[in-house]
């Protein structure tokens, strides 16, 4: 495909594209990561967003922040939502992951709300009836308190018992799950999270790391397959 330059929007230092970036690099892409909030403890102190000129693909990552509490990130969240809406309107392919998927839903007219039950750890998803895409049911890593309703006109591709997990609108795709994680990534999440919070959401950190290590090879394969599907069946078929 013609597209080669990717901009990753990472909201905090511990939110890189990891396995997604690995696959893009293997596919010949160049990848530049812009960290929006270099200090996660100062969520309203953000780096200015870069111009999208010269980028052929945009990947928007997760965050510890919530769109149900926009006041905590008021200095930059509207700028990002406007940026994503403009990129979508201009036809720039966008892949949004977890908070990134929620941002896409919000920016394009959908909704984000607190989920009745969050999902934490490895959980399966189900493709919608009639959907035939090479995306694995998982298990995929989940770590979210919120859920999204996709924008009008979007195709819902997969769900879990807690809500929509994958949607597509043109060359914009949003996931609720985290395909990108490796064990170092999950270890960094756990290290940065208060122990009482981890216990509150029902996660045994040692058990989660052990399961992540056990699933790492399978998750790499399913993440790569997801990226390949996005590049080949969503982006390339659109003429990009």
> Is 105:97 a contact under the CB 8 Å cutoff?
no
What is the domain partition of the chain in residue ranges?
Answer: 5-238
Q: What is the pLDDT of residues 136-146, one digit of tens each?
A: 999 999 999 99
Mapped onto helix, strand or coil, the DSSP state of residue 211 is helix
Q: Distance (Å, rounded) from C-alpha 229 to C-alpha 23?
A: 12
C-alpha 234/C-alpha 169 separation (Å) is 10
Q: How far is CA 54 from CA 6, 57, 90, 128, 183, in A?
A: 9, 9, 13, 35, 32
The answer to whether 51 and 57 are in contact (CB under 8 A) is no
Over residues 180-205, the mean pLDDT reads 92
| Range 5-238 has CATH code 3.30.56.10 | no
* pTM given for the model: 0.96
pLDDT at position 2 is 52
Whole-angstrom distance, CA of residue 144 vs CA of residue 202: 13
Query: What is the pLDDT at residue 238?
Result: 67
Q: Tell me: the pLDDT tens digits for 52-86?
A: 999 999 999 999 999 999 999 999 999 999 999 99
Residues marked as catalytic: 98, 178, 180
**182-199 exposure pattern, b = at least 16 Cβ within 10 A, e = fewer:** bbebbbebeeebeeeebe
- Cβ atoms 180, 224 nearer than 8 A: no
pLDDT exceeds 90 at position 192: no
């Amino acid at each position: 495909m013609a597209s080669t330059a990717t901009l990753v929007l990472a909201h905090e230092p511990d939110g890189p594209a990891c396995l997604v970036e690995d696959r893009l690099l293997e596919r010949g892409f160049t990848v530049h990561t812009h960290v929006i909030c270099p200090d996660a403890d100062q969520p309203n102190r953000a780096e200015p967003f870069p111009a999208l000129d010269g980028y052929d693909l945009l990947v928007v990552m997760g965050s510890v922040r919530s769109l149900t509490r926009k006041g905590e990130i008021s200095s930059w969240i509207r700028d990002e939502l406007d940026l994503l809406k403009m990129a979508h309107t201009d036809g720039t392919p966008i892949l949004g992951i977890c908070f990134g998927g929620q941002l896409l839903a919000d920016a394009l007219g959908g909704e984000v709300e607190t989920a009745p039950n969050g999902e934490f750890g490895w959980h399966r998803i189900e493709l919608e009836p009639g959907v035939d895409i090479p995306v694995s049911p998982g298990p995929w890593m989940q770590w979210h308190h919120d859920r999204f309703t996709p924008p009008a006109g979007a195709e819902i591709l997969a769900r879990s018992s807690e809500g929509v997990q994958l949607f597509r609108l043109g060359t914009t795709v949003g996931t609720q799950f985290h395909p990108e994680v490796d064990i170092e990534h999950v270890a960094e999440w756990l290290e940065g999270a208060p122990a009482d919070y981890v216990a509150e959401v029902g996660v045994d950190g040692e058990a989660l790391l052990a399961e992540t290590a056990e699933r790492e090879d399978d998750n790499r394969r399913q993440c790569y397959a997801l990226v390949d599907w996005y590049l080949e069946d969503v982006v390339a078929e659109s003429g990009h």
